[in-house]
Amino acid sequence: MISRFTIATAILAAATQTVAFAPANKHAVLSSTTSINMGPPIDPSAPVTETYGEGSRKYRRTVYTHNEWVKHRSSDRFVSNLTTLTGSGIYKNIGKEVLATTSVAAFVWAWNFVSGGYEDFSGVMHDPLIASKWATEIGLPLTIFTTLSPSLGLLLVFRTNASYNRWDEARKFWGLNINHTRDLNRMATAWYGNDSSPGSASAPKQIAKAIDPAEREYLLGQVSLFTWAFVRSMKRHLSPPDEDEEDYIAELKSRLSPEQADAIISATHRPNRALFDLSVAIEKLPMHFMRKNEINKNLSIFEDTLGGSERLLSSPVPLFYSRHTARFISIWLLFLPFALYGQFGDSWNHIMMIPASLLISVFLFGIEELATQLEEPFTILPMQGFCDKIGANCDEIVSWAGQDVYKIPDEVIEQMEMERPELEMKSNLALLGGEVEEDVVEEPKKKRKILKKLLRIGEGM
């Protein structure tokens, strides 16, 4: 047994060095040492190695509607997914590793064929082709692998689970962005021009000054634009520069004024700059400061989603965990063919151990691969779709009429005039610092004037 094991180890060492696990992507190695950059790319022309797997991430940005769900649940899913098996991006990515384990299996099979005796096509056993003292059959007991498989399973479960949680968290950050950009623009639009404090009892909540429609449109338009500029900058900042930098600049320049666009584009931290511009735009809105406070709470949520996303982008699952998983699974799978040989004695010269090794390694390396693909979620989230949706939603919200259409109609004022007891009116007016002459309230015309004055004072509160 010892000698068999030594031979197997030597072969494996050779196999792993030549075929398998050289770093496939030099860029990935490099970029892991650079710090995360939130401004313009330092060198936009820097070449980025794009492997098949990296390129395919663009097509993983799925957005589901009812039709996709129907397809997703359909009973054809097993058959149709089996027929598309060879097109699987995950399997393409693990090609080298699977080739390595299958080569080991083929080697074990061939070695044992020549050194251990073989059976020809008519079922007759023959002596070994190489008759030498050191040329003996190689193999390992299956127990080693069955003992290790629960630990391997647990490692893989944790790995996929941790990666899924990262994806989920990133998706939820964008969910919060979507919700709170709506919230912000809704409040800004509905409260525009309302000087009274929220919930104050100051009687009629009418607008103090007549709202200038052009000014309102401009100021709210700015709020909507900078809300969009923020999420768009956040998307750019979480995407690879070569994929998004040009589009980002073009989009910003097409929507913002040249100065505004330049200010954001040239900032070292663009999302921060866009948030700052958004704060300034909110500050310019004519409304009670308590209402603005409420609106500003959304901006703090944006800081959190931005910061949380930066954390996900800059910190992978601790590397020693991923490394150990990768080493464990590689060694387990590379040695497995030695143990499988003995298990396939029923097939012709144990030949079925080769396809078995291939299948097992596809499935197990596949799990590790998808966990790794999921670990950095931003390049598989449909962030461009989110940004476009946010931009369109906010533009629509700020286009709606707000306080200006909710002026109290003249008939209602007349009605109030009839119902409101004179005494109350007088005392209210006195309370607000107005003066009332006894006889004035008798005349309906003047009474109405006073009421209007009362309304105007009330709005100023």
Ligand X SMILES: *[C@@H]1O[C@H](CO)[C@@H](O)[C@H](O)[C@H]1NC(C)=O
CA dist., res. 219 & res. 406, Å (int): 19
The footprint of ligand X on residues 210-269 (CB under 6 A) is none
Residues whose CB falls within 8 Å of the CB of residue 310, separated by 6 or more in sequence, listed in order: 36, 38
Per CB under 6 A, contacts with ligand X among 141-200 are none
Please name the amino acid found at residue 92. Answer: K
Query: CA-based diameter of the chain, in Å?
Result: 131
Cβ distance to ligand X smaller for residue 80 or 415: 80
* Contact call for residues 203 and 452 (beta carbons, < 8 A): no
60 sits near ligand X (criterion: CB under 6 A) = no
Quick check: 75 binds ligand X (CB under 6 A)? no
Select from 79-87, 130-138, 164-172, 186-194 the region that touches ligand X (CB under 6 A).
Answer: 79-87
What is the DSSP track for 258-310? HHHHHHHHTSSSHHHHHHHHHHHHHHTS-S-HHHHHHHHHHHHHHHHHHHHHH
Question: CA nearest 231: which of 311, 299, 312, 315?
Answer: 299
Tokens of 325: 């998983």
Q: Which is nearer to ligand X, 77 or 284 (CB)?
A: 77
The verdict on 81 binding ligand X (CB under 6 A) reads: yes
> Judged by CB under 6 A, does residue 80 bind ligand X?
yes
85 vs 125, beta carbon nearer ligand X = 85
Binding of ligand X at residue 297 (CB under 6 A)? no
Q: Least distance from C-beta 84 to ligand X, angstroms?
A: 5
**Size of interface with ligand X, in residues (CB under 6 A):** 6
Pull the structure tokens for residue 265: 């584009």
Give Cα 234 to chain centroid, integer Å.
11
Which span (73-81, 94-102, 223-231, 426-434) binds ligand X, by CB under 6 A?
73-81
If 0-12 CB within 10 Å is exposed, 13-18 middle and 19+ buried, where does residue 146 land? Answer: exposed
Identified binder of ligand X from the candidate list 26, 58, 60, 71, rule CB under 6 A: 71
Residues 93-152 that bind ligand X (CB under 6 A): none
CB of 61 to ligand X, least distance (A): 15
Burial (CB count <10 Å: 0-12, 13-18, 19+), residue 280 = exposed
- Cβ closest to ligand X, residue 81 vs residue 315: 81
Spell out the residues 6+ positions from residue 341 whose beta carbon is closer than 8 angstroms to its own.
108, 109, 112, 137, 138, 139, 350, 353
Q: Which two tokens stand for residue 106?
A: 């083929």
Q: Closer CB to ligand X, residue 308 or residue 382?
A: 382
Query: Per rule CB under 6 A, is residue 72 in the interface with ligand X?
Result: yes
From 65, 84, 254, 314, residue interacting with ligand X (rule: CB under 6 A): 84
Partners of 221 in the β-ladder: none
Nearer residue to ligand X within complex by CB, 295 or 370 = 370
> In the bound complex, what is the minimum distance in angstroms from residue 71's beta carbon to ligand X?
5
Q: Is 397 helix (H, G, I), strand (E, B) or coil?
A: helix
Between 87 and 409, name the residue whose CB sits nearer to ligand X: 87
**Does 17 contact ligand X by CB under 6 A?**
no
Range in contact with ligand X (rule: CB under 6 A) among 80-88, 218-226, 232-240, 408-416? 80-88
Provide the minimum distance between the beta carbon of 80 and ligand X in the complex, in angstroms, as a whole number: 3
69 or 400: CB nearest ligand X: 69
Residues at the site binding ligand X, with contacts judged by CB under 6 A: 71-72, 77, 80-81, 84
